[in-house]
């Protein structure tokens, strides 16, 4: 038995249906209170590129789609190629901004990690987790868990402006 | 001004810091009540492949990592290459199963779309949204929004076993 055979034998795991060919896990959507703060965090701190904004003025919300790619030059410059590229990618982050929440002092979104729980976190993997965390400290980023906290010394969790947890890990440090 | 220049001029958007080179938006984590039901949904209905399970028996939880790729043969068969590959990918789905929740009749996770809101949904893009939705109907999948519901006729939302929303769209149908 290979490792994959073992996993495929876990109750619930099904063989792939050919009808799912071409399916792509495209994006994860989070609501954010202050889009300026969130764009700053995801672009400046984590390196995402903003690829699309869609405004729904009547319904008073806007959507922002970001990708984290080393070579933003690969992103088609014009529609419709740009949108088709975006919606065919894995690992897109969609931020929803309901207009006005940023100036509502008591307004908060729920990060999913206290009751009622559900969504847990997103994760950004990095080439050097020590260097990345040192830089986050220098940038004044909030930490939920530093590398030195707890039992798992190879992962950290930082917090985005809404308090959503972002796990930071290094692929080569975990086996 | 190009479209990208326009987006880069939005308040909050920062130029990419070279220190973020190699950063990858690796995964999104959701807690699930009944892992067997969730594995069935994500593998059989959506075509994901289970790549890793990690059991934490003392703390009574397990983690399941899934990817949605057309060619699972590309997944390295053995560790440590397998784990390094997994943690370097975009678009990984991590499911957390706290042992015992599946047999706790009243237990529910929060999908984020009623108060307190926060996380909204994940999205799977598909080559043919009409065909995909017809198949979901045939499989008895729960819908939050059919293609024919509401104003946006080009997207649907199905629900996973915990009620998390999964948007379904076709990249070429949206411009």
Q: What is the pLDDT of residue A174?
A: 59
Tens digit of each residue's pLDDT (9 = 90 or more) over A120-159: 999 999 999 999 999 999 999 999 999 999 988 999 999 9
- Please answer whether residues A47 and A69 qualify as being in contact, where contact means their C-beta atoms are separated by less than 8 angstroms: no
**Cα distance between residue B156 and residue B169, in whole Å:** 7
Closest residue in B to A167 (Cα) is B27
């790729």: which residue's tokens? B69
* Antiparallel, parallel or unpaired: β A92-98 and A61-67: antiparallel
Q: Report, as an integer, the average pLDDT of A5-29.
A: 97
Residue B18: both structure tokens together: 């070279």
Residue A17: both structure tokens together: 């249906």
Label residue A102 exposed, middle or buried (CB < 10 Å: 0-12, 13-18, 19+). Answer: middle
pLDDT band at residue B127 under the 50/70/90 scheme:
very high
Does residue B133 belong to the interface with chain A, where contact is any CB pair within 8 Å?
A: no
Per the annotation, the verdict on B102 as an active-site residue is no
Neighbours of A106 (CB within 10 A): 4
HSE, side-chain direction, 13 A CA sphere, residue B32: 27
**Cα distance between residue B132 and residue A166, in whole Å:** 32
Structure ipTM: 0.97
Three-state secondary structure string covering A88-143: HCCCEEEEEEECCHHHCCCCCCECCCCCCCEEEEEEEECCCHHHHHHHHHHCCCEE
Residue A159: list chain B partners with CB under 8 A. Answer: none
Closest residue in A to B8 (Cα) is A50
* Verdict on whether the full-model pTM lies above 0.95: yes
pLDDT band at residue B174 under the 50/70/90 scheme:
low
- Please answer whether residues A168 and B19 qualify as being in contact, where contact means their C-beta atoms are separated by less than 8 angstroms: no
Residue B43: both structure tokens together: 């593998």
Q: Report, as an integer, the average pLDDT of B127-132.
A: 97
Q: What is the pLDDT of residue A130?
A: 97
What is the nearest CA distance from B103 to chain A, expressed in angstroms?
15
- Please answer whether residues B35 and B66 qualify as being in contact, where contact means their C-beta atoms are separated by less than 8 angstroms: no
Q: What angle do CA B74, B66, B39 make, to 5 degrees?
A: 130
Q: Report, as an integer, the average pLDDT of A78-86.
A: 95
pLDDT band at residue B175 under the 50/70/90 scheme:
very low
According to DSSP, residue A161 is labeled T
Biggest CA-to-CA distance, chain B: 58
Q: What is the pLDDT of residue A175?
A: 45
Residue A21: list chain B partners with CB under 8 A. Answer: 47, 70, 127
**Cα distance between residue A19 and residue A23, in whole Å:** 9
Which positions 32-91 of A are in contact with B (Cβ < 8 Å)?
35-40, 43-53, 67-68, 70, 72, 75, 77-80, 82-91
Tens digit of each residue's pLDDT (9 = 90 or more) over B25-64: 999 999 999 999 999 999 999 999 999 999 999 999 999 9
A75-100 in b/e burial notation, b at 16+ Cβ within 10 A? beeeeeebbbbbbbbbbbbbbbbbee
A to B CB pairs, distance under 8 Å:
285
């Amino acid at each position: 038995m290979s490792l994959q055979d073992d996993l495929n034998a876990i109750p619930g795991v099904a063989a792939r249906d050919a009808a799912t060919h071409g399916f792509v896990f495209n994006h994860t959507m989070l609501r954010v209170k202050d889009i300026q703060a969130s764009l700053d965090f995801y672009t400046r701190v984590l390196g995402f590129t903003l690829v699309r904004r869609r405004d729904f003025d009547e319904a008073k919300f806007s959507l922002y789609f970001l990708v984290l790619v080393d070579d933003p030059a690969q992103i088609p410059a014009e529609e419709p190629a740009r949108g088709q590229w975006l919606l065919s990618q894995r690992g897109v982050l969609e931020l929803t901004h309901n207009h006005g929440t940023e100036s509502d002092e008591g307004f908060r979104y729920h990060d999913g990690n206290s009751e009622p729980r559900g969504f847990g976190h997103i994760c950004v993997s990095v080439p050097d987790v020590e260097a990345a965390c040192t830089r986050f400290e220098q940038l004044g980023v909030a930490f939920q868990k530093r590398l030195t906290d707890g039992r798992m010394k190879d992962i950290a969790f930082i917090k985005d402006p809404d308090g959503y947890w972002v796990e930071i890990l290094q692929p080569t440090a975990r086996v």
